[in-house]
Structure 1
């Protein structure tokens, strides 16, 4: 047995986790911050200018109940396109949550009469509190946007967007890539699935994930250009890749979003992208990461409005 095979302390190397392993993993997850204080309090402050909709509730027994909220344009107009913004699919990716809320506070009303905004800022509140990637069942919500989803977080968002699915012109999903992806989450994934852990590299900087099945290169370039005014863009590695995927343009890689069950393809929006901010960079602050997410959202909406 190599050190890499035994990197993660839970489970038996080469064997997927049992229910007992998953229970052990869940018991090891410690609440480190408050969804109610950090997120719901900020959402409450938006009620004077937006409609706030509870679209579900997650009941995680001893860990508590978590209401799910979306923020919507107050004067919703059926003939306007819908701009969908999601954050916190992975609860530990902080700037995704707070960047979405900051965008609403600072710029949400800029689009009144031009577009309908639908923002779900914290899709995974249990994981937000525990600074983790998965939900308490050791399921990654961002691989679970499917009709038969076993992740309550993903199923709730799909139900939220179903009535307006055909109206969504643009969807931007706000994420982070962190050092803990490599130190904790990828080893845990390998252990959970009974596979060997293969070390990778963490890119230093911001990048985007386009849909390889429906690419929109000009849209991605517009978002990168806006974010580059706020923070640095991740360079390609020596293989011209970022996290193992070929770089197709400055700061842009591609995934087959629907095939992988990713949030950014929860609708058939013409314009989709997933942001990835690097908060552990020596060249970026938490505030700068939030600002980068805001710049990305604004650029995405502006591009979609001028290229309908």
Structure 2
């Protein structure tokens, strides 16, 4: 039995069934518009990029086109970079950071890098400021064969033909106070487990792949982001979110084993960014700028090694 306050849906120690899922869905309120915030911004990019839908998420009578934007003159000999945002819909700076990369950074790398951007992988969750999808599934634990998440399966299908062409993949995320107040208690309740409190790091950090660590790549990103916002320090245990620091602002996860988005591309260089938007030391604009700086470092790193 959990010792901390229990989530308001479900029975302690018992996984959710259909009734609990229905209760959870009833709590999800549309707070913003994917059409207005994301699709409208993408429309403005059509003159400079190839824009296409790579699928559709359908939940009841709601239909969300999934959009990808890529370099207009894709050249097979150039290094490819994949940028993904909004795998967790509530992580706002990832979505808007990916869009701003296309608006502000991408033109400078035309002819140097092939760029593919999926700026909002989970549009239903974006509108509800939610981590999970409609089925209470975390897309960023669902990038695996026979994925139960529509969002994850569609992105994997988009990327599969490009395996071997992609040199780098950066997946843009946030770690928020609501991770601890809402989302971690929710997953414990959903799975019938006890909620174990943790801490939220104050600052930016990166997740590298434990099966394919690339310290120089991560360091290049950290150095760029540090000019924009602060890097998360180690906690009292010498780590971040339960993982030991392997370098300044860097931890390791087993990306493929955990079904994480950053493990889908087969790229040599992969990273997941984590911005902290609830910090007293950061503004929403800084959070977006940090994501843009991270992608800029990736583009520069890849264009240099491709020369």
The 3-state SS of whatever aligns with 2:111 is: coil
Root-mean-square deviation over aligned CA pairs:
0.9
Q: Are the counterparts in 1 of residues 79 and 302 from structure 2 also a CA contact under 8 Å?
A: no
Deviation of the 1:238 alpha carbon: 1.1
**What is the rounded CA distance, in whole Å, between the counterparts of 2:6 and 2:304 in structure 1?**
49
Q: Detail structure 1 runs of 4+ shifted over 4 Å in the superposition.
A: none
Q: Could you say which residue in structure 2 is the equivalent of 1:24?
A: 23
**What is the rounded CA distance, in whole Å, between the counterparts of 1:101 and 1:2 in structure 2?**
41
Deviation of the 1:306 alpha carbon: 2.0
Listed one character per residue, the Cα deviations across residues 28-56 of structure 1 (whole Å, up to 9, x for unaligned) are 10000000001110000111111101000
Deviation of the 1:90 alpha carbon: 0.1
* TM-aligned CA distance change 1:2 to 1:270, over 3 Å: closer
Listed one character per residue, the Cα deviations across residues 78-112 of structure 1 (whole Å, up to 9, x for unaligned) are 22121000000000000000000011100111111
**What is the rounded CA distance, in whole Å, between the counterparts of 1:289 and 1:138 in structure 2?**
27
Answer yes or no: is 1:162 the counterpart of 2:160: yes
Alignment partner of 2:78 out of 77, 80, 88: 80
Deviation of the 1:7 alpha carbon: 1.8
Q: For structure 2, which runs of at least 5 residues remain unmatched after alignment?
A: none
**What is the rounded CA distance, in whole Å, between the counterparts of 1:2 and 1:85 in structure 2?**
38
**What is the rounded CA distance, in whole Å, between the counterparts of 1:71 and 1:7 in structure 2?**
42
**What is the rounded CA distance, in whole Å, between the counterparts of 2:239 and 2:138 in structure 1?**
24
* TM-aligned CA distance change 1:7 to 1:70, over 3 Å: same
Q: Could you say which residue in structure 2 is the equivalent of 1:265?
A: 263
**What is the rounded CA distance, in whole Å, between the counterparts of 1:295 and 1:181 in structure 2?**
24
**What is the rounded CA distance, in whole Å, between the counterparts of 1:92 and 1:166 in structure 2?**
31
Matches within 5 A, 1:273-288: 273-288=271-286
Q: Could you say which residue in structure 2 is the equivalent of 1:207?
A: 205
Q: Between Structure 1 and Structure 2, how many residues are aligned?
A: 306
**What is the rounded CA distance, in whole Å, between the counterparts of 1:3 and 1:184 in structure 2?**
16
Q: Could you say which residue in structure 1 is the equivalent of 2:37?
A: 38
Deviation of the 1:307 alpha carbon: 2.8
Q: Could you say which residue in structure 1 is the equivalent of 2:101?
A: 103
Deviation of the 1:2 alpha carbon: 5.4
The 3-state SS of whatever aligns with 2:93 is: helix
Listed one character per residue, the Cα deviations across residues 157-180 of structure 1 (whole Å, up to 9, x for unaligned) are 001111111111000000000000
* TM-aligned CA distance change 1:2 to 1:122, over 3 Å: closer
**What is the rounded CA distance, in whole Å, between the counterparts of 2:279 and 2:23 in structure 1?**
32
**What is the rounded CA distance, in whole Å, between the counterparts of 2:79 and 2:156 in structure 1?**
18
Q: Are the counterparts in 1 of residues 205 and 250 from structure 2 also a CA contact under 8 Å?
A: yes
**What is the rounded CA distance, in whole Å, between the counterparts of 1:2 and 1:196 in structure 2?**
4
- The TM-score, its normalising length taken from structure 2, stands at 0.98
Deviation of the 1:117 alpha carbon: 0.4
Deviation of the 1:145 alpha carbon: 0.4
**What is the rounded CA distance, in whole Å, between the counterparts of 1:305 and 1:16 in structure 2?**
48
